[in-house]
Amino acid sequence: CVFPHLENANTSDADAAADDYRALREKLLETSINLVESLVRVLGSAGDVVDVLQQALMTPECVVGDVNGP
């Protein structure tokens, strides 16, 4: 999972958030995307995009990093 921090939603709306993130993950599987623009469109704000990308296991160029951690 490239976004492991999204797997453990700790909110009262965890089910709704999980559905939103599942839909987002499906959209991220597209082969050619502008990641930030797509995330802003789906999430609605740059702050939410920062939250998603801050702990992502991928580079801004969409290269998957070390999934085992540092």
Is 65 a residue whose pLDDT tops 70?
A: no
Confidence label for 61 from pLDDT (cuts 50, 70 and 90) = low
pLDDT of residue 11: 55
pLDDT of residue 29: 62
pLDDT of residue 21: 77
Domain boundaries, the chain: 4-54
pLDDT of residue 36: 84
Q: What is the pLDDT of residues 18-58, one digit of tens each?
A: 777 777 777 666 555 578 888 899 999 999 989 988 888 87
Contact, 25 vs 18, CB < 8 A? no
Partners of 58 in the β-ladder: 64
Burial readout 8-33 (b: 16 or more C-beta within 10 A, e: otherwise): eeeeeeeeeeeeebeebeeebeeeee
Which backbone phi and psi does 58 adopt, to 5 degrees?
-155, 160
